[in-house]
Structure 1
Amino acid sequence: MKIKETPLKDCYIIEPTIFEDDRGYFFEKYNQQKFEELTGMNGHFVQDNISKSSYGVLRGLHLQKGEHAQAKLVSCLEGKVFDVAVDLRKDSPTFGKWFGIELTPENKLQLYVPRGFGHGFSVLSETAIFSYKCDNFYNKESEGNVMWNDPELNIDWKLPLEAVQLSDKDKALASFSERNF
């Protein structure tokens, strides 16, 4: 396992060591001990979520606040997504900055999104199956959000505007300047 820093403080790309031969491949998707040793972050996850989405679906930007804040370890099991993390920690040197990365089963990359970050992804393939491990349980009353197309953040979701598909909930998110996080 290799850990690569992103431009955002405490947000990491996880790249597995792959053992491959003519029969196929093997890799360790996650190892808590190695993760904690390489990042210094808590790597204890308590909930796994899977979502399936079609092309153009954009989910985000979401977060959990307060005692229910969640760190996430995300990956794409099928298809291709553009995954985005936004640092919403007011005391962070990278507050208000975002980072995006394509996640696919072929590149086998994962993104560690720490507590206090907004998170979302857009589906770039016909369909995608997206996986995320969370280090805290979901709590509806602790939801925070930022609208996906906030002009202050100016995120390039790698989709044409007319292809974007949003849930009703994601159509009504707060702006970055409203600070609903």
Structure 2
Amino acid sequence: MARNKRLFFALWPDQEVRSQLAGLQTLLPQVQGNWVHPMDLHITLQFLGSVPVNQQHCILQAASAVQAVPFALEINHLDFWPKPRIAWAGPEKTPEELLRLVKTLGRNLRECGCKPEKSPYRPHVTLLRKTTPGMALVLPQPVFWPVEHFVLAESCPGSEPPWYKIVESWPLS
């Protein structure tokens, strides 16, 4: 029987970038919290939540219609957000190409009945969840991430990590 899936669109790093992102976790104070499994490191583009089966095909078509160009991210900042209690890494400046990708994807998804996020888009890689406040830090050696595709991923929490699996991938061209 088909079921709802907990879905999100994301930038998914290759193995080299993933290793560098996982290495950033060692820069964080060794505090309490839930470390994100290295295979789960990503940057969310659009969080969809629980998607009914009858909406999933439309979402795949909406993503297939996205036209965006490859770009590079410079992950050069570590910080902490108190309300969700996460330590994260991200770019100091968001590339215009990334903002256009997010906007185009969001516009296409509205045709499927998906509601846009209310808060402004802030690209980040969550490194640690449910943690105590930490200090902001500019990285001495940034992580350069060439972005050449985006993915639709499914969240499957509750089992052994990694909790996310790629459902589909689309190239940027």
TM-score range, shorter chain: under 0.3
TM-score (norm 1): 0.22
Higher RCO structure (Cα 8 Å, ≥6 apart): 2
TM-score (norm 2): 0.23
Which structure: greater helix fraction?
2
